[in-house]
Every structure is written in structure tokens, then in C-alpha cells.
């Protein structure tokens, strides 16, 4: 079976880098423009799955190829911590996560030949207690911008993590084991460099 051309429906350079780690290079990158506002009383798992699905559906008319989209969110209790609007909200998120466990949910959706396949990957992370100075320093570095939960585990915030159970690549933005399996199912496999 010939591999279909792959569109990555994401503006995230991290997702592109993660695909490259497994030898996959999409033929095109087209960010999906959708409303990412949670619905009233929407639970976090349903929210992140809906986001990945709606992104894929928004790009479904891209031709005969496959469309891969993902969405990642951080959850504290039942509260969805998306991308903070500003430094004040980022500080609020980091104070909330300080010294406690939280959940990182990444949903992936693959559209191909009129079918939609989905996976949800959950990772539990525990942050060590953060001082006010550590939070201020992290905000000053700017790494929090555009990141769910106001942090990038692959960057400076890696020093905040006491332990993690689940998919590291899922926290970064694309769970590689699940993604590779879905893509292999439609004939897309990593190429050796």
C-alpha cells in the first residue's frame, strides 16, 4: 500500500520536531483555525478530544491524503489550564501547579479516506513546590508563552518535575508511540535518514 501524503494540522514546531524523531516528514503543514474555547461544563478529556477532532475535520478537504492533528491541555482537578492569555494568568497557573500532581492530556486525531481515528494519552506529573522567585524567573524567560498550563517540560520547567508517569512526548505535544501506530496503519512509516 502506497503511503498517502501527510498534512500536519499544527503550527507547533515541537510537533514537527517530534515527527522528525520517528523519521516522518509531513508533505505540508497547515494550522487548523478553530475556536478553542471550552464548552460550558465540558470535562477536560472530552474537551481535548473534541479539539483534536475539530482540527482534523476543519482540514478534511485538503485532498486525498491524511491529516494529523493533536491538542494538549493541562488539568488541575477539573480545571482546564490552556494557553495563558498573559503573564498574570501564567503565574496563576504555575502557583496552582506548584507542589501538586496534575494531568496532561494529549488527544490525537488522524483523518484519512473518510475515516477518523483518535487516541487520548494521559500523563500524570508532580511539580515540586515553586518559590515566588522561581515563578518570576520562569515568567521572565518567556518560555510559558503559547504553552498549555504555562510551561514547557522540554525546557526550563523540566526542573520543576519531581516525577512523571506516562508519555513524555505526549506532554511535549505529540505521543509518539500512539502516533506512529496510527500512521503505520495507513502506510506511513518513518524513513531512515
Whether 71 is catalytic is yes
Q: What angle do CA 46, 43, 59 make, to 5 degrees?
A: 30
User: For residues 59 and 109, what is the distance between their CA atoms, to the nearest angstrom?
Assistant: 11
Q: Which of 35, 71, 86, 136 is catalytic?
A: 71
The cell numbers describing 142, all together, are 518567556
3-state secondary structure of 78: coil
The cell numbers describing 45, all together, are 478529556
User: For residues 85 and 89, what is the distance between their CA atoms, to the nearest angstrom?
Assistant: 6
β-bridge pairing 101-112 and 161-165: unpaired
Residues known to be catalytic: 71
Amino acid at each position: 500500500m502506497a503511503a498517502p501524503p501527510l498534512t500536519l494540522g499544527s503550527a507547533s514546531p515541537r510537533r514537527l520536531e517530534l515527527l522528525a524523531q520517528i523519521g516522518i516528514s509531513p508533505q505540508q503543514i497547515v494550522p487548523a483555525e478553530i475556536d478553542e474555547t471550552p464548552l460550558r461544563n465540558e470535562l477536560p478529556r472530552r474537551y481535548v478530544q473534541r479539539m483534536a477532532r475539530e482540527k482534523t475535520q476543519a482540514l478534511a478537504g485538503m485532498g486525498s491524503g491524511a491529516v494529523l492533528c493533536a491538542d494538549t491541555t493541562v488539568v488541575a482537578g477539573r480545571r482546564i489550564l490552556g494557553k495563558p492569555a498573559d503573564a498574570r494568568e501564567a503565574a496563576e497557573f504555575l502557583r496552582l501547579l506548584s507542589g501538586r500532581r496534575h494531568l496532561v492530556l494529549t488527544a490525537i486525531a488522524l483523518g484519512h479516506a473518510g475515516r477518523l481515528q483518535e487516541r487520548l494519552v494521559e500523563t500524570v506529573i508532580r511539580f515540586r513546590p515553586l518559590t515566588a522567585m522561581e515563578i518570576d524567573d520562569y515568567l521572565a524567560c518567556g518560555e510559558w508563552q503559547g504553552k498549555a498550563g504555562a510551561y514547557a517540560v522540554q525546557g526550563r520547567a523540566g526542573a520543576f518535575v519531581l516525577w512523571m508517569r506516562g508519555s513524555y512526548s505526549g506532554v511535549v505535544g505529540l505521543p509518539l508511540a500512539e502516533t506512529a501506530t496510527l500512521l503505520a496503519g495507513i502506510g506511513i512509516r518513518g524513513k531512515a535518514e
